[in-house]
Chains A and B, each alone.
Chain A
Amino acid sequence: MTLSEQILSARSGQERLRPGQFILVDVDLGFANDLTAPPAIKEFRKYGSQVFDPGRVALVPDHFTPCKDIESAELVKLMRNFAHEQGIERFYEIGRVGVEHVLLPDAGLITPGMVVIGADSHTCTHGALGAFATGVGSTDFAFFLLTGKAWFRVPESIRVLLSGRLQSWVGGKDIVLYLISRLGVDGARYQTLEFAGETLAQLSMDDRFTICNMAIEAGAKNGIIPPDNVTMEYLYQVNPDWVNRHPGFALDPGKKAVYSREMKLDVSKLEPYVAAPDLPSNGHPVSELKEVKLDQVVIGSCTNGRLSDLKTAASVIKGRKVSSGTRLIVIPATQDVFRQAMAAGYLDTFVESGAVVTTPTCGPCLGGHTGVLAEGEVGLSTTNRNFVGRMGHPKSRLYLSSPAVAAASAVTGRITHPSEVV
């Protein structure tokens, strides 16, 4: 069976599963944010009074926090009160909160083989650890609060075989933008993207999170990477108990697994990749877009707000200045990332270059706050979506790239290959 079929089989109690089958599954962890939890809580109250298992719930107010206005403060208050009333310990107040898809794995809450649902489409991020993780709606989350379960249609899986050694300045973001440009925004609709191949061993956990994070941008239900030494080393940092209790844990599709499609991706000649407006699938090699002038650059988010992302960006920008016509906003994804980036001197590098460094938040990624674009402005961001109006005005335009390209582009004020700057 494919990796997704194996996990869904174990958690639904059905020995054999076939794609297209509808199943009810026990969910190991379910979470929601300040935009998706309030409607779920409202619906929950119509049908029940007691959360099935508060220990399996996390509430992460990361989107409009620190609360940008009275309405968003009311949303977080509603979540806070609900968490208190229901004994949900994993409610993260600002000062502890971070972008959910960075915060939860770093807290050791995601382990291989789990079923994870989040009322946020980028929940597919967690497949990087060998979990079945997928985004759902608020009603799904309310159903989970009531029953501990979720319904799924068993997905077909596309096997993505990555081969070749990456060139310098090329990483997880470039791979996934290239993959989405090949698949299109609905090329993996309803399906799993299951990754394999020799290139995986070269990819850090941060790169893997970035790749799985954007599985949804090809329409996928989830992305999944089989756990290996890199996974186990990460898990040993964040959840040593789990590693000690699962010596030699492995997920292997075996030879009989059936895939809807196999896709071979040779990444050895890949150059940094950039998605142009207005779809994540509109990918181009960075060299094709070097005339594009930028008003604003954002480095952060559940896609690229991790420590290694900030390290790469700082290495490009150190000793240089942000171009006078361009604004640079850097958003460490969590308090831990913030502190580590501070200790390593990255934040000082950014501030010295003329960037602003903000508190962890999703903020500008969805045009919420802390860096929204005006009419006609052009932005480049390390986030995951560049739909019309995503970062602000419907007539603003947004490009997506890696942190290395974003940092280099902030220095020159136009889309730039990092090697041109460093």
Chain B
Amino acid sequence: MKIKGNCWKFGDNINTDLIIPARYMTAYSAEELGRHCMEDADPEFPTKVRPGDIIVAGENFGCGSSREHAVLALKGAGVALVIARSFARIFFRNAINTGLPIIESPEAASAIEAGDDIEVDLSAGRIDNQTTGEQYTIAEFPEFLTQIIEKGGLLPWAKTL
């Protein structure tokens, strides 16, 4: 699977209250939540993000609450992939469970800058930074998670049990 897009850059500890504030959580459709995605971190994000864009962030992305609304908001905003130095654990499992592509790569997360165009080949485990010409390798997911990812999420995978 290949993902190609333009990058937004955020810092460490981007928490779920920033990704989608609780004041919007009476909704749970991706489309509705996407309209407010990341607005407390960058008020221009919801209007300027384009389908297929990529978020690049620092340590502990998605820390805080268990709200899967955070993943839904990112999907609703059109975010195709999140690359971070590290992910908070509930966000990590929510992304795996619902089929939002994520990559944990300290190297790529540090090197990629806002506005860079990158192409990611998930099956080959490679990120090409088309702006700088740099390449980064991606560590493989453990077998257990790969099975869930390949089925498209936890509930489709549950049918195979």
Is the beta-carbon distance between A394 and B40 smaller than 8 angstroms?
Answer: yes
Which residue, of B22, B66, B89, B158, has the highest number of chain A Cβ atoms within 10 A? Answer: B66
The closest CB in chain A to the CB of B71 belongs to A137
From B27, B65, B97, B142, A121 is in contact (CB under 8 Å) with B65
The closest CB in chain A to the CB of B25 belongs to A35
From B41, B64, B88, A189 is in contact (CB under 8 Å) with B88
**In the complex, chain A residues whose CB is within 8 Å of the CB of B6:** none
B86 sits at the interface (CB 8 A): yes
Is the beta-carbon distance between B66 and A137 smaller than 8 angstroms?
Answer: yes
Closest chain A CB from B32 CB (angstroms) = 10
Closest chain B CB from A41 CB (angstroms) = 10
Stretch of A143-151, A198-206, A289-297, A332-340 that contacts chain B: A143-151
Given A39-B72, A186-B13, A189-B60, are A146 and B66 also a contact pair (CB < 8 Å)?
no
Closest chain A CB from B89 CB (angstroms) = 5
Is the beta-carbon distance between B89 and A75 smaller than 8 angstroms?
Answer: no
**In the complex, chain B residues whose CB is within 8 Å of the CB of A108:** none
The closest CB in chain A to the CB of B41 belongs to A388
**In the complex, chain B residues whose CB is within 8 Å of the CB of A137:** 66-68, 71, 90, 93-94, 97-98
A143–B161 Cα distance when bound, in Å, is: 11
A104 sits at the interface (CB 8 A): no
A30 sits at the interface (CB 8 A): no
Given A138-B68, A368-B23, A394-B40, are A22 and B159 also a contact pair (CB < 8 Å)?
no
Given A221-B89, A367-B23, A389-B17, are A139 and B64 also a contact pair (CB < 8 Å)?
no
A153–B90 Cα distance when bound, in Å, is: 12
Stretch of A42-50, A227-235, A240-248, A264-272 that contacts chain B: A42-50
A236–B63 Cα distance when bound, in Å, is: 36
A389–B20 Cα distance when bound, in Å, is: 11
Residues from 22 to 71 in B contacting A, C-beta threshold 8 Å: 22-23, 25-28, 40-41, 59-60, 63-69, 71
**In the complex, chain A residues whose CB is within 8 Å of the CB of B156:** 47
**In the complex, chain B residues whose CB is within 8 Å of the CB of A102:** none
A51–B97 Cα distance when bound, in Å, is: 19
Is the beta-carbon distance between A190 and B89 smaller than 8 angstroms?
Answer: yes
A418 sits at the interface (CB 8 A): no
Is the beta-carbon distance between A35 and B13 smaller than 8 angstroms?
Answer: no
Residues from 107 to 161 in B contacting A, C-beta threshold 8 Å: 142, 144-145, 148, 153-156, 158-159, 161
Is the beta-carbon distance between B15 and A387 smaller than 8 angstroms?
Answer: yes
B106 sits at the interface (CB 8 A): no
Closest chain A CB from B48 CB (angstroms) = 18
The closest CB in chain A to the CB of B147 belongs to A22
Is the beta-carbon distance between A388 and B64 smaller than 8 angstroms?
Answer: no
Given A136-B90, A388-B17, are A71 and B26 also a contact pair (CB < 8 Å)?
yes
Is the beta-carbon distance between A185 and B155 smaller than 8 angstroms?
Answer: no
Is the beta-carbon distance between B27 and A119 smaller than 8 angstroms?
Answer: no
B101 sits at the interface (CB 8 A): no
Is the beta-carbon distance between A39 and B17 smaller than 8 angstroms?
Answer: no
Closest chain B CB from A345 CB (angstroms) = 34
Total contacting residues, chain B, CB less than 8 A: 43
**In the complex, chain B residues whose CB is within 8 Å of the CB of A189:** 60, 86, 88-89
**In the complex, chain B residues whose CB is within 8 Å of the CB of A135:** 66, 90
Is the beta-carbon distance between A186 and B59 smaller than 8 angstroms?
Answer: yes
**In the complex, chain B residues whose CB is within 8 Å of the CB of A186:** 13, 59-60, 63, 86, 88
The closest CB in chain B to the CB of A121 belongs to B66
A151–B142 Cα distance when bound, in Å, is: 13
A75–B15 Cα distance when bound, in Å, is: 24
The closest CB in chain A to the CB of B18 belongs to A388
A43–B97 Cα distance when bound, in Å, is: 12
Is the beta-carbon distance between B90 and A367 smaller than 8 angstroms?
Answer: no
**In the complex, chain A residues whose CB is within 8 Å of the CB of B25:** 35
Is the beta-carbon distance between B28 and A140 smaller than 8 angstroms?
Answer: no
Which residue, of A63, A135, A139, A279, has the highest number of chain B Cβ atoms within 10 A? Answer: A139
The closest CB in chain B to the CB of A392 belongs to B23
Is the beta-carbon distance between B161 and A367 smaller than 8 angstroms?
Answer: no
By Cβ-Cβ distance, the 10 closest A-B pairs, closest first, are A71-B26, A22-B144, A137-B94, A139-B97, A186-B60, A137-B68, A366-B22, A138-B68, A121-B66, A394-B40
Q: Knowing that A63-B22, A139-B68 touch, tell me 19 more A-B residue pairs with CB under 8 angstroms.
A: A22-B142, A35-B67, A36-B66, A42-B28, A47-B159, A64-B26, A71-B26, A137-B68, A137-B90, A139-B97, A139-B98, A139-B155, A140-B94, A140-B97, A186-B60, A190-B89, A367-B17, A387-B64, A389-B18
Binding site for B on A (CB under 8 A): 22, 35-36, 38-39, 42-43, 46-47, 63-64, 69, 71-72, 74-75, 118-121, 123, 135-140, 142-143, 146-147, 151, 153, 185-186, 189-190, 219, 221, 279, 366-368, 385, 387-390, 394
Binding site for A on B (CB under 8 A): 13, 15, 17-18, 21-23, 25-28, 40-41, 59-60, 63-69, 71-72, 86, 88-90, 93-94, 97-98, 142, 144-145, 148, 153-156, 158-159, 161
Can you list 23 A-B contacts with CB-CB less than 8 angstroms, sorted by A residue number? A35-B22, A36-B66, A36-B68, A39-B68, A43-B155, A47-B156, A69-B26, A120-B65, A120-B66, A121-B66, A137-B94, A139-B68, A143-B97, A185-B60, A186-B13, A219-B89, A385-B17, A387-B17, A388-B40, A389-B17, A389-B18, A390-B17, A394-B40
